[in-house]
């Protein structure tokens, strides 16, 4: 893991609580508002931030995140501006891990080596690139690891025990468990299965397990936080942002609306009842 990611999950473990991972799309609805939202997330209780790289064809995302990407692109946002957002954020926050999430095409167009160097220099901690399977690790995953960035994989309910070793082989930072099949925002997870799914993955890795897709409320976040190492919320957060807009443009309520929603999620995560940590053996 990068130093920031290691420190954050170690701190969460000491507190015996799950982390809150929040997703926003960079540049949505415009660069200035997006930067203000980004700064507000840690203040509101986010422990890790996923920052979406806008793309014209986000195949794994539902209508909400697709619309966010289109708003950002229409406002002139590009990958270079995403990196600039991270660099500016780091001037005031050098502790919160930031993971860029998206698709390979914008990175390929930017240039892999140039992108990795610029991302590292800007203060990015990791990448989630949803359309590069383990069989394509030489394209980006291995170079990212060599550049000192985490490469975070997604596991799903259909990722069985035979497939998990390949998924986890070069994964670092944390494992993102997608608790429902389908696109983002498509369904509510079956919380009764989260515990068993997390435990199954933990038999294959010591990495933290973050669970997302379908978490929409503080109560749902608490359900997941009782078993996972982190809870990921994206679509519901973007929905709150979108409802604050006027014809696609930011209003005076936009940043506060997002902040208030994340504060509620953070309270939910922190209220989760978790098993007491295992007692440490006494050592001479």
Q: Which residues participate in catalysis according to the annotation?
A: 50, 61
Spatial strand order of the sheet with 209-212 comes to 150-151, 126-129, 98-102, 48-52, 19-25, 230-233, 209-212, 175-178, 154-155
Evaluate whether 150 touches 5 at the Cβ level (below 8 Å). Answer: yes
In the three-class reduction of DSSP (H, G, I as helix; E, B as strand; rest coil), residue 231 is classed as strand
What's the Cα-to-Cα distance from 107 to each of 104, 122, 126, 144, 182, rounded to whole Å?
5, 15, 14, 12, 24
Cα Rg of the chain, angstroms:
18
Is residue 68 helix, strand or coil? helix
How many residues are there in the chain? 284
In terms of Cβ atoms closer than 10 Å to its own Cβ (0-12, 13-18, 19+), residue 281 is exposed
The two tokens of residue 103 are: 């698709």
**Count of other CB atoms within 10 angstroms of residue 129:** 23
The C-alpha angle 251, 19, 233, rounded to 5 degrees, equals 40
Neighbours of 92 (CB within 10 A): 8
Spatial separation of the C-alpha atoms in residues 44 and 242, rounded to whole Å: 18
Q: Which two three-digit tokens encode residue 65?
A: 């995140």
E-only strand ranges, 187-266: 209-212, 230-233
């Amino acid at each position: 893991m990068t130093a920031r990611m290691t420190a954050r999950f170690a701190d969460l473990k000491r507190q015996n609580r799950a982390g809150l991972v929040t997703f926003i799309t960079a540049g949505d609805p415009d660069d200035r508002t997006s930067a203000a939202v980004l700064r507000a997330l840690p203040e509101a209780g986010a422990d890790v931030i996923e920052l979406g790289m806008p793309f014209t064809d986000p195949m794994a995302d539902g209508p909400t995140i697709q619309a966010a990407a289109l708003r950002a692109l229409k406002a002139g946002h590009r990958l270079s501006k995403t990196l600039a957002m991270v660099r500016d954020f780091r001037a005031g926050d050098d502790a919160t891990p930031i993971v860029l999430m998206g698709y390979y095409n914008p990175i390929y167009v930017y240039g892999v080596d140039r992108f990795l160097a610029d991302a590292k220099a800007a203060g990015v901690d990791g990448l989630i690139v949803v359309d590069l399977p383990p069989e394509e690790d030489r394209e980006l995953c291995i170079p990212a690891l060599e550049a000192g960035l985490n490469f975070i994989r997604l596991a799903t309910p259909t990722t069985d025990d035979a497939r998990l070793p390949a998924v986890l082989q070069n994964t670092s930072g944390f494992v993102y468990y997608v608790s429902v099949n389908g696109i983002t925002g498509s369904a509510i997870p079956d919380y009764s299965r989260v515990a068993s799914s997390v435990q199954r993955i933990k038999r294959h890795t010591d990495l933290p397990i973050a669970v997302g897709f379908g978490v929409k409320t503080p109560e749902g976040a608490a359900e997941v936080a009782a078993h996972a190492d982190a809870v990921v919320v994206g679509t519901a957060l973007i929905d709150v942002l979108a409802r604050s807009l006027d014809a696609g443009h930011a209003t005076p309520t936009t940043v506060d609306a997002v902040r208030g929603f994340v504060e509620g999620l953070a309270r939910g995560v922190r209220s989760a009842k978790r098993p007491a940590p295992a007692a440490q053996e006494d050592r001479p």
